[in-house]
């Protein structure tokens, strides 16, 4: 797909289509665009006759003939002007562009109107990136159809906003590329995304974008006494891999930020086995690791002046004669004895050792941990919202601020320490499951316990990393959510001189 940014004077409507965003209860004028009056007259008549009310997401198509040539117009409802926000506006414009592409194969113009309380540059880049992302398909295992002609998208900007047009498009393309790479990793079936293959992908990314990758096998993992990680891994014929990625963007600074991503390439549930319907999308259980790799790729391309080390404990949770069992007591890297209440609560065991390794061996000063950890977070927050648990509110506040600009959604769940008693064990230091109630909270309390005094935030992306249905800005399958939020988090810290 080709996307261009143009100025008002370059608008050529005849034989093309234009998308006009409209707010409720206002006449359509677009004074700065060279749109023939008769075209706007039709639009305003449609509003007066209530054929088009400009309610949020509403679409109204019409065409007219001028000087023997057809002009195609698609009106997009933006709702009340005072209530318009970045995410709704972007979703509306992506939906309109998809609809317009079905109607017309020529040039599609988008008149980009300013939004109150939103930077025009941010709006423009978000629209460009989201249109690119909306074309994503994971179809490498399908026979290819004949290529279809893609329309040219021409976004009409205010005259004074064209100075950095090339940079806007390039930035949007790079961001979309990293999100789509994350989607690809998540969407690969488990037989094509083993721990060894994931480690190879991480190494390839590091070589391509200029950061370090160090991959450790099961012998090293055993040497480091990462017993919780190994317990989950030992039932699989595919051996585990410990993946350590180091981006050194600010060598003069001793501070190292930690990222930890859950890397379960497949989760059968182990002896606490899942039903078939719940296994079908378990290739996505490495969504945390894919998100971390995608974010590092973007951070490295943008050359952010920050030091980040990512640790991924990658394995599969399978059933075998030597697999761990409910009732077992295992020992983690930090010498915590854990009673196994449920082998399907395996991710937190691998994360416990990954967090300990990040602190003890990589000397990180804080940790952002991402994992597709609990089904309970979907019950609480649905598919599109990431659940956050931390006792360090500033970590959440900074991520929330970043999410506002990247169209990600994150919501803080209570860090309620009284619920730690739900993890009590009669026979060990802790149980790996807290029972039926407050599942996302007890999982977060379990994981963050292993950071001890190191600031940590746990992000449960079980809903946001995988979509059961397509939306205008989220594909079905791997979504790539939170890649941009992580990047923006670090970019903001640099801008605010908090690095």
* Active-site annotation, residues: 274, 348
57 neighbors 33 (Cβ within 8 angstroms): no
SS (H, E, C) 109-178: EEECCCCCCCCHHHHHHHHHHHHHHCCCCCCCCCCCCCCCCCCEEEEEECHHHCCCHHHHHHHHHHHHHH
Residues near 49 by Cβ (< 8 Å), separated by ≥ 6?
A: none
DSSP 471: B
Write out the two tokens for 21: 């965003």
Render the burial of 252-279: b for 16+ CB within 10 Å, e for the rest.
eeeebbbbbbbbbbbbbbbbbeeeeeee
Q: Determine whether 387 is exposed, middle or buried from the number of CB atoms within 10 Å of its CB (0-12, 13-18, 19+).
A: buried
C-alpha–C-alpha distance, residues 221 and 195, integer Å: 13
The SS3 assignment for 40 reads helix
Structure tokens at 483: 């890649």
- Our CA angle for 310, 258, 269, nearest 5°, is 60
Question: CA 163 → CA 5, 158, 168, 365, distances in Å?
Answer: 11, 11, 10, 39
85 Rama sector, left if φ>0, alpha if ψ -120 to 50, beta otherwise: beta
Question: Chain-centre distance of CA 58, in angstroms?
Answer: 27
Residue 5, CB half-sphere, CA atoms under 13 Å: how many?
Answer: 23
Token representation of residue 280: 């079908």
Check: CB of residue 173 under 8 Å from CB of residue 266: no
> H or E element: which one contains 70?
strand 69-77
Residue 236 exposure: Cα atoms within 13 Å on the Cβ side: 27
Dist. CA 47–CA 41, nearest whole Å: 10
What the block records as the tokens of 48 is 């007066």
- The Cα angle at residue 176 between residues 173 and 179, in degrees rounded to 5: 155
């Amino acid at each position: 797909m080709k996307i261009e940014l143009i100025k008002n004077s370059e608008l050529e409507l005849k034989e093309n289509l234009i998308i006009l965003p409209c707010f409720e209860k206002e006449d359509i004028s677009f004074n700065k665009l060279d749109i023939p009056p008769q075209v706007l007259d039709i639009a305003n008549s449609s509003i007066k006759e209530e054929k088009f009310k400009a309610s949020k997401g509403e679409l109204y198509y019409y065409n007219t003939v001028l000087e023997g040539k057809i002009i195609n117009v698609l009106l997009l409802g933006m709702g009340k002007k005072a209530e318009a926000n970045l995410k709704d506006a972007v979703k509306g414009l992506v939906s309109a562009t998809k609809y317009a592409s079905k109607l017309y194969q020529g040039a599609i113009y988008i008149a980009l109107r300013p939004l109150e309380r939103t930077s025009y540059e941010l709006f423009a880049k978000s629209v460009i990136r989201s249109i690119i992302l909306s074309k994503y398909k994971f179809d490498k295992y399908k026979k290819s159809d004949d290529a279809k002609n893609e329309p040219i998208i021409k976004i009409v900007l205010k005259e004074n906003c064209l100075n950095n047009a090339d940079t806007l498009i390039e930035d949007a393309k790079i961001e979309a590329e990293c999100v789509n790479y994350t989607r690809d990793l998540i969407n690969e079936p488990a037989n094509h995304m083993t721990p060894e293959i994931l480690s190879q992908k991480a190494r390839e990314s590091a070589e391509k974008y200029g950061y370090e990758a160090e991959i450790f096998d099961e012998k090293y993992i055993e040497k480091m006494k990462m017993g919780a990680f190994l317990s989950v891994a030992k039932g699989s014929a595919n051996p585990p891999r410990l993946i350590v990625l180091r981006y050194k963007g600010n060598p003069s600074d001793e501070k190292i930020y930690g990222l930890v991503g859950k890397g379960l390439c497949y989760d059968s549930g182990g002896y606490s086995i899942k039903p078939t319907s719940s296994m079908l999308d378990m290739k996505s259980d490495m969504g945390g690791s894919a998100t971390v790799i995608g974010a590092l790729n973007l951070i490295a391309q943008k050359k952010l002046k920050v030091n980040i080390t990512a640790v991924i404990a990658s394995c599969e949770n399978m059933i075998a004669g030597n697999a761990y069992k409910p009732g077992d007591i295992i020992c983690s890297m930090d010498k915590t004895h854990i009673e196994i209440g449920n082998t399907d609560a395996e991710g937190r065991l691998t994360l416990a050792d990954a967090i300990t390794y990040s602190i003890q061996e990589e000397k990180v000063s804080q940790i952002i941990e991402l994992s597709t950890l609990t089904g309970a977070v979907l019950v609480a927050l649905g598919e599109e919202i990431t659940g956050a648990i931390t006792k360090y509110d500033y970590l959440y506040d900074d991520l929330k601020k970043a999410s506002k600009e990247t169209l990600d959604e994150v919501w803080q769940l209570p860090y309620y320490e009284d619920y730690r008693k739900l993890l009590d064990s009669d026979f060990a230091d802790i149980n790996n499951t807290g029972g039926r109630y407050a599942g996302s909270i007890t999982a977060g309390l379990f994981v963050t316990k292993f950071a001890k005094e190191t600031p940590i935030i746990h992000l449960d992306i079980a809903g946001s990393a995988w979509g059961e249905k397509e939306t205008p800005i989220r594909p079905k399958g791997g979504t790539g959510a939170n890649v941009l939020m992580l990047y923006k988090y670090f970019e903001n810290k640099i801008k605010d001189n908090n690095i």
